[in-house]
Amino acid sequence: MIKVGIIGLNGRMGHMLWQECSRYEDLKIVCGVCKAGPALPQGCEVEVKEQVSELKTLPDVFIDFSRPEATLALLDFACEHKIAVVIGTTGFDEAGKARISQAAEVIPVVLAANFSVGVNVLLSLVEKAAAILADYDLEIVEAHHKHKVDAPSGTALAIGQAAAAGRKVELKDVMVSGRDGITGERQPGSIGFAAIRGGDIVGEHQALFCGEGERVELGHIATSRAIFAQGAVKTARWLFGKAPKLYTLKEVLGLDRL
Ligand code: NAD
């Protein structure tokens, strides 16, 4: 039996994770962390606290879909108690990312901005296309629901990173986001980002490779959050018992060959 703790248990993803875990006989959610307010999943009787440090029940693996500040508190606790962590939360700054890498020297960690299999196939395709279409202008367009707090989305940034890797450049050196006003002409080699927010859009991403006289579009549309929960729970099962390291979702899903 693998004992699971959910960070963000009463959030949109927390509810999905609760449902997904209940499909497995060898998984048991034993505790959760979230801010008081929204309802907990139906039938939830496990220990739930507002701070991870208050938990008395320890799981084997944490699955975290919350906010960066909650994830950072989680990493301190998980390192202290040697508990594996699956991180789906997005919006980390450089210091946050460094803390995740540091924690992965002590515990096994998977960090993924998008746990869907389809998006991870898209990342591999974008990396290849960016290398081959090296002089095409790349624009990444993403759309999400009105409650999303960060932009560009973590997935859009992952697409940008995949493209930058394909072109052997650093994303931070070529990224252009939030154009407004007199921006001047597009710089060759830059990677542009545009974000749309509204309604209940689950998550849509497009990578547009714009050339002279043609355009190649690679994209992904999520129609249900269940795909993220499925990937995260699959990852938690895979991560259980692994040695400390920052594993990639490619390793988990066996997409290394793409
Ligand atoms: P949500 O707002 O519905 O839920 C957030 C949850 O985090 C709530 O349970 C809230 O109580 C908890 N939380 C927030 N701040 C906290 C704190 N300081 N301490 C303890 N708990 C805290 O959000 P959501 O739609 O469920 O998304 C959560 C995160 O997951 C976001 O960062 C989102 O971008 C990300 N996400 C990632 C993927 C993926 O595949 N990686 C997919 C969907 C969403």
pLDDT confidence of residue 255:
74
pLDDT confidence of residue 258:
54
CATH of the domain spanning 117-222: 3.30.360.10
List 144, 205, 220, 234, catalytic entry: 144
Task: Looking at 41-197, list the stretches that DSSP marks H as alpha helix, in order from N- to C-terminal side.
Answer: 68-81, 94-103, 117-132, 154-167, 171-174
Contact 9, 48 (CB under 8 A): yes
Six token digits for residue 204: 């849509």
Q: Is the CB of 59 under 6 A from ligand 1?
A: no
List 28, 128, 148, 242, catalytic entry: 148
Q: Which parts of the chain are beta strand (E)?
A: 2-7, 27-33, 47-49, 61-64, 84-87, 108-111, 137-144, 175-177, 191-197, 203-210, 215-222, 245-247
Nearest C-alpha neighbor of 75 from the set 105, 111, 99, 51? 99
CATH 3.40.50.720 domain extents, the chain: 2-111+225-257
Q: What's the rounded Cα separation, in Å, for the pair 216 and 103?
A: 39
CATH 3.30.360.10 domain extents, the chain: 117-222
Six token digits for residue 161: 């990173």
Tell me the CA–centroid distance for residue 142 and ligand 1, in Å: 19
* Averages of pLDDT over each 10 residues, the chain, 258 residues: 98 97 96 96 96 98 98 98 97 96 98 92 95 98 96 96 98 96 97 98 97 98 95 96 95 75
Tell me the CA–centroid distance for residue 184 and ligand 1, in Å: 37
Report helix, strand or coil for 19. helix
Nearest C-alpha neighbor of 113 from the set 78, 81, 80, 144? 144
Q: How far is CA 158 from CA 145, 165, 249, in A?
A: 19, 10, 12
pTM, entire model: 0.88
Tell me the CA–centroid distance for residue 73 and ligand 1, in Å: 14
Strands 245-247 and 108-111: parallel
Tell the CATH topology of 2-111+225-257: Rossmann fold (3.40.50)
